Chains A and B, each alone.
Chain A
Amino acid sequence: MNGNQLISNTGFESPCSTKGESCRFSPLETPSVLCPPQEAGFTLNKWGFTLAAIFFLATAACDRAKPEIRAESAWARRAPMMGDGAPPGVASERGNGAVYATVVNAGKTADVLIAGASEAADAVELHESYEMSGMMMMRPAPKFEIPAGGKLEMKPGGYHLMLLRLKRDLAPGEKIKVSLTFEKAGQVSVDAEVR
């Protein structure tokens, strides 16, 4: 009825185990090519196992190439837009703001935050505040690195995203959309609540 029996009937050395249920082929075909070797049932499981292993390794490799990046507890400091309708001159520029978030890297390789953007401001820059000779200083940072399995905590007086030239007032309770661009993970969007 099944292939095994048919094969047996042809007088060839049985290429398949009688235990194998899925070993189906026509006796007219060359069994040595099409039929898996002895004990097909076990062998197929082994094949399945191997495939699963390949799949697993492939996924793991994917994980390595695409770290899991997420931004947590994002918030923006309240700030008035100002500058709107002011007479032309040095004082007419709109105000600035700041966004803070904790970037968690659950992936297996480091990633780098390279840029930011927000609907609430003309531009977003990566900045760092620090203390030097009794003064609070601020400087733009080209990038923030987030180590594998680690995190980068932005906070007042430290790393932050500076919102340049606000498009509206940032009033407590509102939310603004901010997107962060990472070298590997690409864009990550986050809502920042104004406090």
Chain B
Amino acid sequence: MTFAFLWLFAGPLHGAEFRAGVLQPPRKAPDFTLKASNGAEFRLSRYQGKVVLLGFGYTYCPDVCPTTLADLALVRKKLGADAERVQVIYVTVDPERDTVERLRAYMNAFDKTFLGLTGTPEQLTGVRKGYGVSTRKTVMDKKSGAYLVHHSASIHFIDVAGYLRIMAPFGTSVEDMIHDVKLLLQERQR
């Protein structure tokens, strides 16, 4: 009796759980249009059918952002053929300095398929609001005006139907991300 009860919870219902932070209930990922580092216009809703991994950052960021991008590059690499159905997009939190050219050079250093996105400050604020992303600009050197942009560094997993499903905080292992992406890829398009 007890075992049957345990089996109910541990077995069929929870057998294939996501490992990163699950968003319950799933909500439609807010759509947006931004300028992409490949020169084209990017519209999120056109990517239904793919799993979209969305992150926020900037190219002057030396530690957290390149770590995230290198991890995501590894996720795609280890997915093999499945990687074709995974699109990584990285929205800048520093449109003042991150030009399309800069974003392209930066993305290419990690994975040629990655798309860096930028837009007007208003557009970008709108996107951040939709995903609950906060930023804070901190001037490090008053003379040169050099600054850092602190930001939320989670990766948002959008499923093939365009629903926001998972938020993987910074530091989520590559293995766990692959695991969750595979589960999302197995789902049928709604």
Contact = CB atoms under 8 A, between A and B. Distances in A.
Contacts of A134: 134, 152, 154
A160 B67 CA distance: 12
Contacts of A195: 70
A175 interface: no
A79 B65 CA distance: 11
Contacts of B99: 86, 91
A129 B63 contact: yes
B136 A138 contact: no
Interface string B93-118: 00011110110011011100000000
A97 B62 contact: yes
Contacts of A14: none
Given A78-B70, A136-B170, A137-B150, A91 B98 contact: yes
A156 B154 CA distance: 15
B66 A157 contact: no
Interface in A179-195: 195
A90 B97 contact: yes
Nearest to A170: B109
Contacts of A147: none
B59 interface: yes
Given A77-B70, A134-B152, A156 B109 contact: no
A163 B108 CA distance: 20
23 contacts: A78-B110, A79-B62, A79-B109, A86-B99, A90-B96, A90-B97, A91-B98, A91-B99, A91-B102, A95-B59, A95-B60, A96-B62, A97-B62, A98-B62, A131-B170, A133-B134, A135-B152, A136-B150, A138-B61, A138-B63, A140-B140, A157-B63, A157-B171
Interface of B: 59-64, 66-67, 70, 96-99, 101-102, 105-106, 108-110, 134-136, 140, 148, 150-154, 170-171
Interface of A: 77-80, 82-83, 86, 90-91, 93, 95-98, 127, 129, 131-138, 140, 156-157, 160, 162-163, 169, 195
Given A80-B109, A96-B62, 20 more contacts: A77-B70, A78-B66, A78-B70, A78-B109, A79-B109, A82-B102, A91-B97, A97-B62, A97-B66, A129-B64, A132-B150, A134-B152, A135-B135, A135-B153, A136-B64, A136-B152, A137-B136, A138-B148, A157-B171, A195-B70
